[in-house]
Amino acid sequence: MPDDHFSAMRQSIIDGAPDTASSLAREAVASSIPPIDAINKGFVPGMHDVGEQFAHGQMFLPDMMASAEAMRAAMAVLDPELKKLGTERPRAGIVVLGTTKGDIHEIGKILVGTMLTAHGFQVHDLGVDVAGEKFAAKARELKADIVGVSALLTTTMRNQKGVVEALEKEGLRSQVRVVVGGAPVTRRWAEEIGADGYAKDAMSAVTLAHELMQQKLQIVS
């Protein structure tokens, strides 16, 4: 029964079990369950639950990392199947992510990237120690909707301002929304540097990204 399948998929993400997630994804393909259904009705709800539990302090960082790994394992099976069928997932938006210049922390950023991917965003992760100009160049190349900049140190969070300035210099600021996050970052800091939003964790980053895309679409229409 597909419902049992979907429930097991969801549980494999909550349990942070990559092997189970991968094997359930293969079973779904073998049982002719559409890959898009496996993603949207099975694995994504699991990731959503994980995000909610993490936000409420019922799950911790190692659990969430394990869940992210399980999500990646499932997507590694299902993405090629989607491409074969020519049914790419509807794209929620294009996001360029990175940790700012001078900073090499990336666990939080990886989680944000995984959550955004699970919720339909096309994510390009530039890695760590990324200069503002590199963010701007990639945003131009990909016609990005959102740039997400992480910083885990008070000394490096100043460089988030450099990303906003680099986008302005490239004439991209009106098209690209900037989201900042990281332990020392606050909503007030985001406003001070002219960013469009602040996300305190991976789940709120997804909510914010969806809100910014809605605003963008309203402006376009």
**Same domain, yes or no: 36 and 111:** no
pLDDT at 220: 60
pLDDT at 106: 86
The last residue of a domain, from among 51, 85, 119 = 85
Mean pLDDT of 178-191: 95
pLDDT at 88: 66
Rounded to 5 degrees, φ, ψ at 57 are: 75, 20
pLDDT at 86 over 60: yes
Q: How many domains does the chain have?
A: 2
pLDDT tens, 25-54?
999 999 999 998 999 899 999 998 998 888
The last residue of a domain, from among 85, 107, 134 = 85
**Same domain, yes or no: 20 and 123:** no
What is the distance between the alpha carbons of residues 13 and 49, in angstroms, rounded to a whole number?
Answer: 9
**Same domain, yes or no: 16 and 104:** no
The residue whose two tokens read 């939080």 is: 108
pLDDT at 1 over 60: no
Q: Are 67 and 118 in contact (CB under 8 A)?
A: no
Place 77 in a pLDDT band, splitting at 50, 70 and 90.
very high
Q: Are 105 and 138 in contact (CB under 8 A)?
A: no
Domain at 57, CATH number:
1.10.1240.10
Mean pLDDT of 110-117: 88
The last residue of a domain, from among 43, 69, 85 = 85
Q: Can you give the residue range of the structural domain that contains 12?
A: 2-85
pLDDT at 221 over 60: no
Domain at 162, CATH number:
3.40.50.280
